[in-house]
């Protein structure tokens, strides 16, 4: 196994009615934990670098993309690299140009803060540029709850509008609002499984569930059965990472070497990744 195109993971998920576990990375430790966790579960995954993570690293995507590429290349399971929630058009253009160098296979362009017509126009342009570079492109129609002042709870993706949006933009995947919210630290979200099934029947592209950290395991499994084909996970990794570090430092106030408290936190994150892979994708997604 090695670094693989995102499209191959997603096509295989559609073929076998599974979903691709897709984990957001912020640090090198995230990348290491996700890859080892995926290997432990025997699951293909996507490593996702978001615009916010790029901003955290001073606007430089290259170092973490390089680390992701190298660790994916050495993995025993198929690993793809995805760019998540890219809103800045200039950044999207720069990342599309960088994609071949770092083995990036997909990009989510997020223009959901714009009105419908502007979202369609901007997403269409980025999709055309991404396709020219060989990328699988994801988009979002209407904001998903809990992110930067997004819509109030209860808003849902309209199937007819979603079908029109996909046809107009040519995107390869669509993030849908079905009850989850970003940045939830408790797993209490309730999903509209009937809506997921309706969207899956109406749309010719894979559905993406964002905000999955707030969704209970059994509900994630039901969402995949209903038609979700990509499951984004981020916050829960940071919850276990931070919790481990807090506990370790509270127990030993003399610790100053970050390796002493990062190691345990990375191990906790690895275990969480493996467990979530088993929920999202009970058996390996791809066989190469």
Q: Catalytic site residues?
A: 84
Residue 77 CB-density burial (10 A; 0-12 exposed, 13-18 middle, 19+ buried): buried
Q: Distance between CA atoms of 17 and 31, rounded to whole angstroms? A: 26
Best CA proximity match to 94, nearest among 119, 137, 125, 129: 129
Residue 44 φ/ψ region, left for φ over 0, alpha for ψ in the -120 to 50 degree band, beta for the rest? beta
> Checking DSSP bridges between strand 136-140 and strand 79-86, what pairing results, if any?
unpaired
Using alpha carbons only, what angle is made at residue 169 by residues 166 and 173, rounded to the nearest 5 degrees? Answer: 50
Does residue 184 contact residue 213 with C-beta atoms inside 8 Å? yes
Place of tokens 């949006």: 165
CA distances (Å), origin 261, targets 234, 243, 249: 20, 11, 7
Q: Helix, strand or coil for residue 131?
A: helix
Q: Report CA torsion sign: 39, 42, 44, 47.
A: negative
Q: Distance between CA atoms of 246 and 244, rounded to whole angstroms? A: 5
Q: Helix, strand or coil for residue 215?
A: coil
Best CA proximity match to 35, nearest among 86, 84, 83, 1: 1
Q: Distance between CA atoms of 251 and 263, rounded to whole angstroms? A: 15
């Amino acid at each position: 196994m090695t670094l693989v195109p995102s499209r191959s993971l997603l096509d295989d998920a559609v073929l076998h009615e599974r979903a691709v576990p897709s984990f957001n990375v912020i640090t090198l430790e995230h990348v290491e934990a996700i890859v080892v966790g995926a290997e432990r579960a025997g699951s293909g995954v996507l490593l996702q670098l978001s615009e916010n993570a790029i901003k955290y690293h001073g606007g430089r995507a290259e170092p973490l993309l390089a680390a992701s590429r190298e660790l994916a290349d050495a993995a025993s399971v198929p690993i793809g690299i995805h760019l998540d929630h890219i809103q800045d058009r200039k950044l999207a253009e720069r990342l599309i140009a960088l994609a071949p160098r770092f083995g990036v296979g997909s990009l989510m362009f997020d223009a959901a803060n714009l009105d419908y017509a502007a979202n369609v126009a901007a997403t269409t342009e980025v999709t055309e540029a991404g396709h020219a570079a060989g990328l699988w492109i994801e988009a979002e129609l209407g904001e998903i709850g809990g992110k930067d002042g997004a819509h109030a709870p209860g808003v849902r993706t309209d199937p007819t509008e979603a079908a029109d949006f996909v046809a107009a933009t040519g995107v390869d995947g669509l993030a849908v609002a079905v009850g989850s919210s970003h940045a939830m630290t408790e797993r209490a979200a309730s999903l509209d499984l009937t809506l997921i099934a309706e969207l899956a029947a109406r749309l010719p592209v894979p559905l993406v569930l964002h905000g999955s950290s707030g969704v209970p395991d059994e509900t994630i499994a039901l969402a995949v059965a209903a038609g979700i084909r990509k499951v984004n996970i981020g916050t829960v990794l940071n919850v276990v990472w931070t919790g481990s570090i807090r506990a370790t430092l509270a127990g030993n106030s003399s610790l100053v070497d970050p390796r002493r408290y990062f190691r345990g936190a990375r191990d906790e994150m690895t275990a969480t990744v493996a467990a979530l892979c088993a929920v999202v994708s009970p058996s390996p997604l791809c066989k190469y």
